[in-house]
Structure 1
Amino acid sequence: MKNNESDVFSFLITNKDFRDWVLDPNDERSYYWKKWMNEHPEAINEVKKAREFIERMTFKKEQLSHEEENELLEKIIANKKPAFESKYSKRRKTLFAIDQWVRVAAILVICFMSAIFIESFFHEIQLEPVVVAVEWKTVENPKGIKSKVTLPDGTMVMLNSASEIRYPKVFSDSQRVVELKGEAFFEVVRNEHKPFIIHSERITTEVLGTSFNIKAYHFGEDQHIAVVSGRVKVSNTEGDTEILNPNEMGLIGSDNLIDKTSFDLKHITGWKDGIISFKRASFTDIQEQLSIWYDVDFEIEEGFKMENVYTGEFHNETLENVMEGIAYSSGFTYSISDNKVLINK
């Protein structure tokens, strides 16, 4: 966000997306700029000024057409010409000079009157907020359920448990915008003219066509974007950005900074293939992942503490088998009753 009004005004009138919204509004553009104004209420007046300026610069409908200008010019000239033609060349030259000056004066009158008309017209404009209904679709998975979603452009999304994706039923002509809560793996159809933008908890991700994993659960401190193919631009809420290439991951911690690192493909994306992977996981990490995966709650006996961290993976295993493996290597006992896991010392 800019620090003063002139910077905001300059930012808006030079922003192609903003100009496109003013001159050719559609559902997607209106949604984006309405959301932008909600996030920057102090800039509303500058938005109105910028809209008026852009509309004024592209003003066409109220100007005189070329034919109308010629017609008005001929009427002015006709009224100014003398009632007779001289037979002498000297007088013809004089009349010709007068005729040229009349034409110049007529053009100046037309321009002056047009300028006054346009100025008065725009002073009377009352800018109304653009309200356009955007038809959105939401897919929400409860705990224990995963699903595959096909977006309007053909992009494939594997949506993890306890996750939600929201997208317009029809993408706009300029960009493809979706909203994500939780975790999903995207295989984005490439379109160099329509960037694909994902808004999640503390991350904005922009791509043209690629495959990557986003984890952005609201209850987790760490969120990430892991790129499998293509290139991805990642931004945090502070406006910091990073470009991620294949096999690179942007990790956003509690400090909201973007830390670029490498990643283990199976550990990060194995969930979509039925693989639960733990890598030096604390019991809190284990509890969180199993709760989402199997839709269970944990009840922990007072005084319990898992001293070590756990590393391992399970392929399409039942909750009982997973708990048996973790409990055996970590030295605790457990029991399962309905949708509750009881952990004992």
Structure 2
Amino acid sequence: MSMQEYRDMEPEELALDSSFQRWQLSHDPTANSLWEAWLAQNPDKTELVDKAASLLISLHTTYSEHIAERVPISEHEVQEEISRLHMALEDREVPIIAVSWFRSWPVRYGVAASVLVLLGLFGWSQLRPSANKTPETYTELVALAPEPLSEISNSSDKPLQVNLPDKSTITLYPKSRVSYDKQFAGTRREIYLSGKGFFEVVKNPAKPFYVYANGLVTKVLGTSFTVQAYEGAKQMKVVVRTGKVAVFTQKQVAEQPRKETYKLDGIVLTPNQQIVFSTEKTQIKKSLVDNPVLLEQAPQKQLFTFKRTPIADVFATLEQSYGVPIAFDKDLMRACYLTASFTDEPLFEKLDLICRTINATYKQVDGTIQISSNGC
């Protein structure tokens, strides 16, 4: 088909075109160049392209939400989905005017007509993403990416290592997928994730690293952390192993598109801290991980031995070893000392023993440990 013929198409016909589908769904470089050139030559057809893209992406999103493996819909499946709509319309009652109009179309336009009937009945506004809705899902964000992206899916039952252009790596867990620019050509290193991935990021302050994951955004300069954000899940999670990250929601990005240092507004996480984002309540809760681990650079990795050691020094050692802030009243506990020896006990077990010894208690508050005591 010549490119000139596309000018006379309706949006639903254009959505059926394989070249158009490769451009919108697969970000195929050849199709991308072809259609960008066509749009440059036919600027009056921008609305046509927008409507066709809205229909195609809406079908893609709807279809993807109903398959267990969470993998992208293929071009063939898009064709079948539109055909399914056609068959469904033939089996159900629709207004007489729509039926007579539908049957007046030539046979070769039957599938396109079925979609147009749907659009006539329900309106473009129900298929096109709302102007006030912030794109959040993996499908929406990938579709809006300014550059063609490379996608990797893990359909196996084992973790898959993904090597990024800057030598950072992702351990991609089963039923997960990522998309990214093969060259990291822009001013940011941007990754789109659906599922679960463990990131080990090479430090580059000049080019910050962002992970977009179904409504959550994680920004980092160089660290290791895990993001868990499956499509449709009620909870998303970010867990930091080393370094520091800032986490915020996709809506914050939309509200402050020109602000570069999101960490001023986001939730800052350090090692052994995590956030859990409830999609139902739209709440973010910061806490410690269930079992904090020793940092790689911890001064005492195997043995914690204290002999009448001031409690302030004991807590400082734990902070340095686990990276977990510990708050306590230094003046009130100035006379507290500890004589004890620990080896591989978990952090919380160490704290239990220490607090029993000095007659104190502790609790977790926003990813920190708070010690309560009446003094010694």
Q: What band does the TM-score fall into relative to the shorter chain?
A: 0.3 to 0.5
Bigger Cα Rg: 1
TM-score, with length taken from structure 1: 0.38
TM-score, with length taken from structure 2: 0.35
